[in-house]
């Protein structure tokens, strides 16, 4: 618990006491959605008998074992059944026709499609959105496809909508579910735009088909089942060998992909498939990485690291890299930035203590994100900046380029206001 009104809570006992002191005096309704195996009722609320009479707790989970542990508090378990055929049809029609009932010519086939969804709201939304404004022959084709699937295979039903996407929309969706859930859409859009994935239109398609949503801060939101489906699509590219997949988002798998490159030749070959990779060291593990660790990662376009340092000649190793995110509690040297970064569009050094580099080798950088308490050496020529994102107290000692009016505005903003744009995510 952490709020402006109550301050910071450092331990479970203090949090429990705070709840009991401030909440237990009132009759309350508390709803906890989709709790997992780490949830413990007493850790959150203490003894439920201490709450005012008439208080109610509603707790949902996809894991029955989690809820069964609540019986000692005399909680009643309720298994949520399928939606009724009538409500299922109504929900389906809201997405397929933007109304509560189907047109006469679609009435029969709508009921047939609804009967294949198992009454699951998410499936009804996704399939309905997929068929919005489609001709009747498309509906018949999707109905035949749904009937071929095992009755309980929810993921397969959801995948119908994914399979109907174009190549670019598929790439954006997989990037989101693997790396960008909770992130504001602007930053990834620079990378997708540079790859000609047309993010504006394809993000809109994903929203229309109920595959993603946008939050209040314009951040990506994805239902857990759709997230799991997307990640399973990537995992099925090669179940046993993560380095043979297009995206490696698990931090330990990303780290192993880099570390094993010096040992296993099959890793070197497979890594050509990797387009995006996340690799974290703990603060106690931080060490150096050399060019050999990145060999054959020629298709890598997104790289996110934590507590990793680099040494050696990285020239021509990462020609397709568009987004480089480096976070460390240690001093970075300039080696990785002297690689072939002519296609880089986002350089994110936020939360790095110090970066010892003049950036003279970067040819094009559309967006740079710096962290506070930093002093950078002068930017050299040949840098084409589109936007700078930086935190307060950044000092740029020099900035030169052809667009003098833009750079004068940048310098004025930095020295007057210390910042241009505050980053809106913390990943």
Q: Are 288 and 312 in contact (CB under 8 A)?
A: no
Q: What is the model's pLDDT at position 73?
A: 59
Whole-model pTM: value is 0.71
Q: What is the pLDDT of residue 78?
A: 81
Three-state DSSP string of 8-32: ECCCHHHHHHHHHHHCCCCCCEEEE
With CA atoms as reference, report the closest residue to 113 among 95, 98, 99: 95
Residue 80 burial by Cβ neighbours in a 10 Å radius (0-12, 13-18, 19+): exposed
Distance from C-alpha of 356 to C-alpha of 373, rounded to nearest angstrom: 14
Place of tokens 């593990």: 285
pLDDT for 134 equals 94
Pick the CATH number of 237-417 from 3.40.630, 1.25.40, 3.80.10, 1.10.3470: 3.80.10
pLDDT tens-place string over residues 357-370 = 444 334 333 344 44
Strands (E), 60-153: none
Q: What parts of the chain have a pLDDT lower than 70?
A: 1-12, 16, 71-74, 151-152, 261-270, 282-287, 328-341, 349-427
**Residue 221: its H or E element:** strand 220-221
Other CB atoms within 10 Å distance of the CB of residue 352: 19
Of 346, 358, 350, give the one whose Cα is nearest residue 427.
350
Round to whole Å and give the CA distance between 363 and 382: 5
At 238, list the tokens: 């090669």
Burial of 21 (0-12, 13-18, 19+ CB in 10 A): exposed
Check residue 204 and give its pLDDT.
95
Tokens (6 digits) for 57: 């707790």
């Amino acid at each position: 618990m952490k709020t402006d009104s109550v301050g910071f809570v450092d331990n479970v006992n203090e949090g429990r006491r705070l709840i009991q002191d401030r909440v237990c005096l009132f009759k309350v309704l508390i709803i906890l959605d989709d709790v997992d195996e780490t949830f413990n009722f007493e850790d959150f609320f203490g003894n439920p008998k201490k709450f005012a009479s008439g208080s109610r707790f509603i707790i949902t989970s996809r894991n029955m074992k989690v809820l069964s542990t609540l019986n000692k508090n005399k909680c009643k378990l309720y298994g949520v059944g399928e939606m009724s055929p009538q409500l299922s049809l109504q929900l389906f029609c809201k997405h397929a026709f933007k109304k509560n009932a189907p047109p006469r010519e679609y009435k029969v086939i709508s009921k047939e499609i609804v009967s294949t969804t198992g009454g699951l709201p998410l499936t009804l939304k996704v399939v309905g959105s997929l068929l919005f404004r489609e001709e009747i022959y498309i509906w018949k084709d999707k109905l035949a496809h749904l009937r071929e699937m095992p009755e309980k295979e929810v993921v397969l039903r959801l995948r119908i909508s994914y399979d109907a996407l174009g190549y670019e929309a598929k790439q954006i969706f997989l990037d989101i579910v693997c790396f960008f859930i909770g992130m504001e859409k602007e930053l990834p859009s620079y990378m997708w735009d540079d790859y000609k994935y047309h993010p504006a239109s394809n993000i809109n398609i994903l929203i229309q088909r109920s595959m993603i949503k946008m939050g209040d801060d314009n951040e990506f939101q994805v239902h857990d089942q759709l997230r799991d489906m997307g990640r399973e699509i990537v995992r099925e590219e090669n179940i046993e060998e993560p380095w043979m997949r297009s995206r490696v988002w698990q931090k330990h798998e990303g780290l192993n992909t880099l570390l094993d490159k010096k040992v296993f030749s099959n890793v070197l070959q497979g890594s050509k498939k990797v387009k995006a990779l996340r690799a974290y060291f703990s603060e106690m593990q931080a060490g150096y990485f050399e060019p050999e660790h990145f060999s054959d990662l020629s298709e890598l376009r997104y790289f996110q690291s934590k507590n990793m340092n680099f040494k050696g000649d990285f020239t021509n190793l990462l020609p397709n890299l568009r987004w480089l995110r480096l976070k460390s509690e240690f001093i970075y040297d300039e080696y990785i930035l002297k690689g072939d970064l002519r296609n880089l569009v986002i350089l994110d050094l936020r939360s790095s203590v110090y970066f010892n580099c003049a950036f003279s080798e970067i040819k094009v950088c559309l967006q740079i994100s710096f962290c506070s308490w930093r002093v950078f050496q002068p930017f050299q020529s040949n840098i084409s900046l589109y936007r700078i994102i930086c935190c307060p107290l950044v000092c740029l000692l020099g900035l030169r380029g052809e667009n003098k009016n833009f750079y004068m505005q940048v310098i004025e903003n930095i020295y007057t206001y210390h910042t241009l744009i505050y980053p809106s995510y913390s990943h």
